[in-house]
Structure 1
Amino acid sequence: MKQHNRSVSVVLVAVSVVGVSAGIASADGMTPSHAPSDKAFVAFMANVNVSEIAAGSNAQKNATSECVRQAGRVLYDNHTQLEVKLKPVAKSLGVSLPSGPTTADQRMFAPVAEKAHTPAYDTAWLKMMYPGHKEALATIDQEIASTRNSQVKAYAEMARPIIQAHLDMVYGAKCHTPPSTS
């Protein structure tokens, strides 16, 4: 079971550390509405989404507290919806969406997954969620301020309060009651 957890578990922090934009920013001849930074942002958000879907699923299965299980459910539901809404934006920019978390992301989450079904898991999961969400929020704010692509800006503005709510849920590496996902 631990091996299965490692293969499907990932956390947002890993995505922000990996630096998604490295392989995306080589878009020659782009028009201002399809700037490389927009493509990098879309790729970043796609990786955030698949990572958070996996991390949320893992928390629902392996957390010991109801609060962390609920937080996992919120992350899973919200990032699944964000991924659906990102697909047309990615298609319009020619950005391929990942089918799942990267191997590097999985390795980053392995120490958390090894603590499954213990209170240490809950603490480790919460500690990993905060910095990643903070980085994602900063990236979203930067994109909102800099993009001239109305479709990308609309997505970023729609995603911002969701990511802020996630940040609020895990603030201080403590679980705060998640909002309802309905």
Structure 2
Amino acid sequence: MRHRATTALAVLTLAMGPTGTALATDALDDAFLGAVHQGNMAEIAAGGDAQKNAVSMCVRETGKVLVRDHTLLDKGVEELGRKLKVALPRSVTPKQEQELKEIRKKARTRAYDNLWLRAQDTAHVQTLDLLDAEAARGKDATVREAARKARPIVAKHLEMVRDCMMHMPPRHR
């Protein structure tokens, strides 16, 4: 979540280095698909967790929307990965997993909601940057188009997160 951009940059850096194996698409496009897939899995997990552990109805509803939308987005990423013969990661990054564990320690408190919202704000801003970069510089037209199509959905999520943040009691913002 918060570390998605860092993870994406690390994946991109590794993808650009000499690997000795040919990829089905451009290394940057492959890395983008992998990072987005991990991001989707992290958002699905975070959204499900919010539905169980948030105290605010706004946060619980936002979590529900994240699960729904990121599940649909990820189906598209998986289909694109299969079509382009890109091996996608099987799990979230250790940092993504650890961040959710840290947030979960505050389950069923306003502090949980606050931490969850801040993590989602950061994650969605970073995801928008990643989508914009791929749409502008990706090599494969289908991957660029997928990034363009995902952007308004992720932007809507960010809007929802920020709306919830504005409705938090002042000491919890």
1:156 aligns with 2:111: no
Instruction: Please name the residue that 2:56 is paired with.
Output: 65
Does structure 2 retain, via aligned residues, the 8 Å contact 1:43–1:97?
yes
Distance 1:175 1:111, change over 3 A: farther
Return the alpha-carbon distance in structure 2 between the equivalents of residues 25 and 49 of structure 1.
23
Query: What are the Cα deviations for residues 39-76 of structure 1, in whole angstroms up to 9, with x where unaligned?
Result: 11111110110000000000001000100000000111
Distance 1:21 1:134, change over 3 A: same
Return the alpha-carbon distance in structure 1 between the equivalents of residues 61 and 166 of structure 2.
10
Q: Could you tell me the percent identity over the aligned residues?
A: 33
Distance 1:46 1:25, change over 3 A: farther
How far off is 1:166 after superposition?
1.1
Return the alpha-carbon distance in structure 2 between the equivalents of residues 172 and 68 of structure 1.
10
Return the alpha-carbon distance in structure 2 between the equivalents of residues 72 and 130 of structure 1.
13
Instruction: Please name the residue that 2:73 is paired with.
Output: 82
Return the alpha-carbon distance in structure 2 between the equivalents of residues 81 and 172 of structure 1.
23
1:134 aligns with 2:125: yes
How far off is 1:92 after superposition?
2.8
The structure 1 residue matched to 2:3, chosen from 14, 18, 43, is 14
Does structure 2 retain, via aligned residues, the 8 Å contact 1:169–1:175?
no
State the SS of the aligned residue for 1:128. helix
Return the alpha-carbon distance in structure 2 between the equivalents of residues 148 and 102 of structure 1.
25
The structure 2 residue matched to 1:117, chosen from 88, 92, 108, is 108
Return the alpha-carbon distance in structure 1 between the equivalents of residues 130 and 148 of structure 2.
12
Unaligned 5+ runs, structure 2: 168-173
**What is the number of residues matched between the two proteins?**
164
Q: Structure 2 counterpart of 1:14, which letter? A: H
Does structure 2 retain, via aligned residues, the 8 Å contact 1:15–1:105?
yes
Distance 1:63 1:103, change over 3 A: same
Q: Structure 2 counterpart of 1:117, which letter? A: R
Return the alpha-carbon distance in structure 1 between the equivalents of residues 149 and 68 of structure 2.
15
Return the alpha-carbon distance in structure 1 between the equivalents of residues 49 and 95 of structure 2.
17
TM-score (norm 2): 0.84
